[in-house]
């Protein structure tokens, strides 16, 4: 078998197909069948003689009538399972494609490395020219003015000079009424429209109290008092406060806890109004008690 056709990978074993094709087989038959498949995968074929097979998988002669049709003899005198050879062809093709892809990737990396080296060398050459400008030469005589034999004048190329600065990073545009906060002046830029919108979106929050709490928190945490979007900070603050029950929430209790507590208290008040019915002696018990007349002597 040629080196490029050799398969040095795992044996593809499809469990469901294997079990379906060997339904009703004994454990010995299945074991020898799997052993022969692995030997064929490794050797690219099996010997045709039963004695040789028995040396490879001792005891296979006892179950050979069941396995004989699975490994027919081909033209080269080797026994092979046809389905396994199909898997081998696919594995070889996959290996070939992966090898070609790896070679193409290596060539692309080498090409990219060469381009980077050329660019770096060009930059180094330009830097050397800029740092060491040529010394001025005396004015050439008419005979040395660079006149070619054809009569054309060869003038030296003008030096390349940078005429513009590198592009500056563009700053993000700010909204004309952006919300701001400073340690000395507090909040600024909050409009009446903002207050109305936040009051509708967060009905459990008292806006002035929440803004004061947020301001005091920023003063107590100066390292986190540098925001690029103060409106987003306020919205996040109000959202957390709303989820926790609002401004006047009970300490450590969520709105769900408060509602559950109120429902339990309402049920307790309803049960308090209920009174148990008076006990009534059953008629049978009363008749039995009347029929029994016990005396002190008894």
Instruction: Write out the H or E segment, with its range, that includes residue 32.
Output: helix 27-43
Q: What is the predicted pLDDT for the residue at 25?
A: 93
Instruction: Write out the H or E segment, with its range, that includes residue 262.
Output: helix 255-272
Q: Which residues of the chain have pLDDT under 50?
A: 142-143, 145, 147, 296-297
**What is each CA distance from 123 to 71, 110, 116, 118, in whole angstroms?**
68, 20, 11, 9
Q: What is the predicted pLDDT for the residue at 217?
A: 93
Q: What is the predicted pLDDT for the residue at 162?
A: 52
- Residues facing 181 on adjacent strands: 187
Q: What is the predicted pLDDT for the residue at 3?
A: 56
Q: pTM of the prediction?
A: 0.36
CA angle 28, 30, 32 (to 5 degrees): 70
Q: How many CB atoms lie under 10 A from the CB of residue 105? A: 10
Q: What is the predicted pLDDT for the residue at 145?
A: 47
Of 16, 35, 28, 38, nearest to 65 (Cα)?
28
Q: What is the predicted pLDDT for the residue at 148?
A: 52
């Amino acid at each position: 078998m040629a080196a490029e056709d050799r398969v040095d990978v795992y044996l593809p074993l499809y469990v469901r197909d294997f079990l379906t094709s060997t339904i009703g087989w004994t454990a010995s038959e299945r074991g020898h069948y799997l052993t022969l498949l692995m030997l064929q995968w490794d050797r690219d074929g099996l010997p045709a003689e039963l004695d040789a097979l028995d040396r490879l998988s001792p005891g296979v002669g006892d179950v050979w009538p069941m396995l004989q049709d699975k490994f027919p003899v081909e033209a080269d005198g080797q026994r092979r399972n046809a389905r396994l050879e199909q898997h081998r062809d696919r594995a070889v093709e996959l290996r070939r494609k992966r090898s070609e892809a790896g070679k193409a990737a290596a060539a692309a990396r080498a090409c990219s490395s060469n381009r980077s080296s050329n660019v770096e060398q060009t930059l180094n050459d330009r830097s050397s020219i800029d740092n060491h400008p040529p010394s001025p030469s005396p004015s050439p005589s008419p005979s040395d003015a660079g006149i070619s034999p054809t009569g054309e004048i060869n003038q030296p190329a003008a030096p390349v000079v940078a005429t513009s600065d590198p592009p500056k990073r563009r700053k993000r545009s700010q909204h004309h009424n952006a919300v701001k906060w400073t340690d000395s002046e507090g909040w600024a830029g909050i409009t009446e429209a903002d207050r109305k919108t936040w009051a509708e979106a967060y009905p459990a929050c008292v806006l002035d109290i929440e803004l004061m709490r947020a301001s005091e928190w920023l003063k107590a945490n100066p390292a986190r008092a540098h925001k690029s979007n103060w409106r987003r900070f306020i919205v996040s603050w109000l959202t957390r406060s709303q989820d926790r029950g609002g401004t006047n929430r009970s300490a450590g209790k969520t709105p769900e806890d408060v509602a559950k507590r109120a429902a339990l208290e309402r049920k307790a008040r309803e049960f308090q109004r209920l009174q148990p019915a008076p006990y009534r002696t059953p008629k049978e018990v009363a008749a039995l008690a009347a029929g029994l007349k016990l005396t002190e002597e008894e």
